[in-house]
Amino acid sequence: MRKIVFTPLLLGIIILSFENKVNAQTNSSSLLRHIVIITFKQDAPVDSIKALDDIYVSLSKSILVKDFEMGVNVSARDTGVVKHIYVTTFASKDDMDSYKKIPLYSRLFKSSLPIANDVTVADYWVNK
């Protein structure tokens, strides 16, 4: 009789534990980071790179964005290669999905494709 009661109880605890881990990834206290690293072509015009930076700055003013940072890679490992890093933080995946529907967002691709040699994107939930 104890096994009959104990097994569903244990199963319930395991399910609740799993749900808590899933909810931790999507609840409002978690932050979602979206990182874009663009390696520019050697002959990329400076004004085109600046125009792309300006689009990111404009997008960062959206109410969907919780935080935004950008900079140029200064690692000694990438000498001679210009890489810009854009880090956008969102409160939820829904906010990030809505951000990607902003009309200005589509201009990122039109502006970056002709001047980019490589683009790396990473999204992750912040763990502190």
- The pLDDT tens digits along the chain (128 residues) read 555 544 554 444 455 454 445 444 444 468 999 999 999 999 999 999 999 999 999 999 999 999 999 999 998 887 778 899 999 999 999 999 999 999 999 999 899 999 999 999 999 999 98
Residues 79 and 62 in one domain: yes
Count up the domains in the chain and report the number. Answer: 2
Residues 22 and 42 in one domain: no
Task: Give me the sheet containing 83-90, strands edge to edge.
Answer: 65-72, 83-90, 32-40, 116-125
Residues 82 and 103 in one domain: yes
* Chain centroid, CA 112 distance in Å: 17
Residues 106 and 88 in one domain: yes
Residues 92 and 48 in one domain: yes
Secondary structure letter of residue 31 according to DSSP = -
Residues 20 and 41 in one domain: no
What is the pTM assigned to this prediction?
0.76
Domain interval for residue 16: 1-27
Residues 6 and 55 in one domain: no
Residues 66 and 38 in one domain: yes
φ and ψ at residue 104, rounded to 5 degrees: -60, -30
Q: Which two tokens stand for residue 12?
A: 């319930």
Residues 78 and 111 in one domain: yes
Residues 2 and 36 in one domain: no
